[in-house]
């Protein structure tokens, strides 16, 4: 006997979306697992290339590594998470979530792989194939999620709406750069536009999404007071306005744009760290540690970008100008958003597993099962979560060092392989434990 609403023989929780709009658990989990695999490939690339990758941001291996991190890890995790976040924030169910996920996941994964391979070997054919697959993934995902976030009026969705819009601009800028590479006779100055593309992707999609999600999950999961109205109301549009200024092709508005977006980001970092200090349960928590380490690194990256834009001579002691750009990316991206995301995954994955088991017990009307569900740390243990955050923080420290001293590149790669490999094991084990618990609920009610 299967749960009501599930096809006969289907694994519980792997069926159609529930009335609450959450898609089946396999939809986000496959994105999270592939993100960890992309991270392992990224570490492997650094391990092979070492200082050659970290010597220049324009090294083909570093361009490939950057896209494995941004598209393969961050976008993969954030797309998977949006299937869950949008309904929770009041946007309703993503239409045809299983079908959308089944198209977007392989296209995003394979597209990233082809693009990274093409960039590493500077092969336009592979880059174009990767671009086509990625375009298909984005053309399916962005409208599906965009419809939900645009039609809903919930205030909580405003930063998510901005983030999805910023992602569309980042993709358009990426395509513009791809055209510049494919047709050099057009004379597109793709190096200067690369920073704008990176800012729309990193600050626009990455930071805005983290801002929007943190407004909800920090007070909820970590029992802190709510964010102040000035933070929730002004930070997201200030980041958006800064990014718009970056699109203008003159130096002064671009400096103002970096300043505005970085200042707004620093405001959010400060507000979140203050809230975490005021949490009611002061127990050491791996996700809180991820927030704290990650936000310090985000803050350091934003501060460096801000000073570099306004008074570059003041940060000349940090590193030479080209290495400073790599340092900003390493601090903001790998160390900052990366540690936040790894910490969040150690909380979100077991929470989703619990939520879906509860939904299964409810669907069967099994009160005893509802009360006796495994606790969250049965899916991801505290020690395993601390190891995940600790390994990523250690890898991040060496990646930041390698941005300044490229000879640390291979050590950074080895630690990145260990960090993302462990993250993948943690998620896979949680999925297996979920499956076992779901089958036992079904057997008990049969």
Catalog residues that contact another protein under the rule CB under 8 A.
Answer: 19-20, 220-223, 280-281, 351, 354-355, 358, 362, 365, 367-368, 370-371, 373, 375-376
In sequence order, which residues have a C-beta less than 8 Å from that of residue 154 and are 6 or more positions away?
89, 90, 91
Closest separation in Å from C-beta 262 to another protein: 32
Nearer to another protein, 281 or 443 (CB): 281
CA distance linking residue 87 with residue 70, whole number of Å = 24
**CB neighbours of residue 196 within 10 Å:** 21
Q: Which of 18, 32, 34 is nearest to 82 (CA)?
A: 32
Cα-to-chain-centroid distance, residue 371: 33
Q: Kindly tell me which of 235 and 376 has the beta carbon lying closer to another protein.
A: 376
Q: Which two tokens stand for residue 296?
A: 């310090």
What is the smallest separation between the CB atom of 362 and another protein, expressed in angstroms?
6
Measured on CA atoms in the order 334, 340, 346, 348, is the torsion positive or negative?
negative
Nearest CB to another protein, comparing residues 16 and 125: 16
Please give the Cα distance from 359 to 284 (Å, whole number): 29
CB of 384 to another protein, least distance (A): 18
Signed CA dihedral, 345, 351, 356, 357: sign only:
positive
User: What does the block give as tokens for 321?
Assistant: 């100008």
**At a CB cut-off of 8 Å and minimum separation 6, what does 350 contact?**
376, 377, 378, 379, 380, 430
Judged by beta carbon, residue 258 or residue 369, the one nearer another protein is 369
CB of 294 to another protein, least distance (A): 19
Structure tokens at 236: 């997201």
- Beta carbon nearer to another protein, 152 or 327: 152
3-state secondary structure 182-238: HCHHHCCCHHHHHHHHHHHHHHHHHHHHHHHHHHHHHHHHHCCCCCCHHHHHHHHHH
Q: From the CB of 385, what's the least distance to another protein, in Å?
A: 13
Query: 68: which 2 tokens?
Result: 């494995």
Q: Could you please report the per-residue DSSP string of 303-338?
A: HHHHHHHH-GGGGTTT--HHHHHHHHHIIIIIIIIH
* Residue 380 CB neighbours (<10 A): 24
Of the two residues 220 and 248, which places its CB atom closer to another protein in the complex? 220
3-state secondary structure of 79: helix
Distance in Å, CB of 73 to another protein, minimum = 26
Which is closer to another protein, CB of 205 or CB of 221?
A: 221
Q: Which is nearer to another protein, 64 or 376 (CB)?
A: 376
Nearest to 69 by CA among 335, 288, 411, 401: 335
Q: How far is the CB of 112 from another protein (least distance, A)?
A: 32
| CB nearer another protein, residue 57 or residue 222 | 222
- Least distance to another protein, CB of residue 426, Å: 19
Residue 352 contacts residue 323 (beta carbons within 8 Å): no
Measured CA to CA, the distance from residue 265 to residue 60 in angstroms comes to: 30
| Residue nearer to another protein on the CB measure, 354 or 408 | 354
* Residue among 211, 151, 161 at smallest CA distance from 337: 211
Of the two residues 153 and 252, which places its CB atom closer to another protein in the complex? 153
Are 61 and 374 within 8 A, CB to CB? no
Q: In the complex with another protein, which residue's Cβ is closer, 99 or 220?
A: 220
Rg of the chain taking only CA atoms, in angstroms = 21
Closest distance of CB 220 from another protein, Å: 6
Taking the complex as a whole, the smallest distance from the CB of residue 278 to another protein amounts, in Å, to: 13
- Candidates 40, 195, 202; CA nearest to 113 is 40
């Amino acid at each position: 006997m299967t749960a009501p609403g599930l096809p006969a023989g289907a694994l519980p929780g792997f069926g159609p979306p529930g009335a609450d709009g959450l898609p089946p658990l396999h939809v986000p989990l496959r994105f999270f697992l592939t993100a960890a695999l992309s991270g392992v490939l990224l570490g492997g690339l650094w391990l092979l290339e070492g200082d050659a990758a970290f010597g220049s941001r324009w090294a083909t291996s570093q361009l490939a590594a950057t896209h494995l991190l941004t598209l393969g890890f961050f976008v993969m995790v954030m797309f998977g998470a949006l299937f869950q976040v949008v309904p929770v924030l009041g946007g309703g169910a993503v239409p045809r979530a299983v079908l959308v996920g089944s198209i977007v996941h392989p296209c995003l994964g394979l597209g990233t792989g082809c693009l990274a391979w093409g960039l590493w070997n500077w092969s336009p054919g592979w880059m174009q194939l990767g671009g086509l697959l990625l375009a298909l993934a984005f053309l399916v995902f962005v409208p599906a999620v965009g419809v939900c976030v645009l039609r809903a009026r919930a205030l909580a969705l405003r930063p998510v709406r901005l983030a999805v819009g910023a992602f569309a601009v980042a993709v358009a800028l990426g395509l513009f750069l791809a055209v510049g590479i494919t047709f050099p006779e057009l004379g597109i100055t793709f190096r200067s536009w690369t920073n704008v593309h990176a800012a729309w992707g990193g600050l626009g999609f990455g930071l805005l999404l983290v801002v929007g999600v943190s407004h909800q999950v920090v007070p909820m999961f970590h029992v802190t007071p709510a964010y102040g109205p000035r933070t929730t109301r002004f930070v997201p549009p200030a980041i958006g306005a800064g990014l718009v200024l970056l699109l203008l092709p003159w130096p002064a508005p671009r400096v103002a744009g970096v300043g505005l977006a970085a200042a707004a980001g620093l405001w959010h970092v400060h507000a979140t760290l203050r809230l975490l200090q005021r949490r009611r349960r002061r127990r050491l928590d791996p996700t809180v540690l991820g927030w704290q380490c990650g936000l310090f690194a985000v803050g350091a990256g934003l501060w460096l970008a801000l000073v570099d834009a306004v008074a570059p001579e003041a940060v000349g002691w940090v590193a030479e100008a080209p290495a400073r750009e790599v340092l900003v990316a390493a601090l903001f991206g790998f160390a900052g958003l990366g540690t936040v995301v790894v910490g969040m995954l150690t909380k979100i994955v077991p929470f989703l597993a619990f939520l879906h088991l509860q939904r299964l017990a409810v669907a069967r009307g099994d009160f005893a099962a509802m009360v006796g569900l495994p606790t969250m740390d049965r899916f991801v243990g505290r020690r395993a979560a601390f190891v995940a955050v600790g390994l990523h923080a250690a890898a991040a420290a060496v990646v930041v060092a390698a941005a300044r001293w490229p000879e640390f590149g291979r050590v950074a790669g080895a630690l990145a392989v260990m960090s993302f490999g462990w993250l993948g094991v943690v998620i896979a084990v949680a999925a297996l434990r979920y499956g076992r618990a779901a089958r036992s609920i079904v057997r008990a009610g049969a």
